[in-house]
Amino acid sequence: MPALKGQGGRARAAPVRVKAGNHSVAFDSADIEVQTEKSVKITNKYGLHARPAMQFVEIASRFSSDVRLARGDKSADAKSIMEVLMLAAENGADLVIRADGEDAEAAVEALTELVASKFDEE
């Protein structure tokens, strides 16, 4: 993709044009963010109690993407220990890890691996 001169002479990506019927929208390709999600099941004996919740928050906080953890109709900021604990996810709980941003896929993968490892408790 050709680079264009941006503010201060810095190169920036060329705009992307999307057509739908008679409409066309242009936007900067640098504004494109990835959204990804994955379903997981809590399988460690005591569920997502304080220690594993803190591990989850610490890993989620390493990423610039917006990371959310959902249980049914409840959704929590995965970077907030209080919100994660409020999900009360016991053993067997089905959760969805969602991330929006440039490193969304890496965030979801890292958190999925943490859950699969049973938070190194067993």
pLDDT of 121 over the 70 cut: yes
- Please give the pLDDT value at position 34: 76
> Considering the chain, what is the average pLDDT of its residues?
85
Residues in CB range of 104: below 8 A, 6 or more apart: 33, 34, 35, 36, 63, 65, 67
CATH class of this structure's domain 34-120: alpha beta
Q: Which of 19-23, 34-38, 70-74, 92-96 has the lowest average pLDDT?
A: 19-23
pLDDT number for residue 122? 76
49 is catalytic: yes
Domain boundaries, the chain: 1-32, 34-120
pTM over 0.85? The answer is no
Each residue of 34-89: pLDDT tens digit? 799 999 999 999 999 999 999 999 999 999 999 999 999 999 999 999 999 999 99
The single residue of 34, 36, 43, 49 carrying the catalytic annotation is 49
Q: How far apart are CA 61 and CA 100, in angstroms?
A: 13
Residue 114 has pLDDT above 70, yes or no: yes
**C-beta of residue 79 within 8 angstroms of C-beta of residue 85:** no
What confidence score (pLDDT) does residue 2 get? Answer: 45
Q: What three-state secondary structure class fits 11?
A: strand
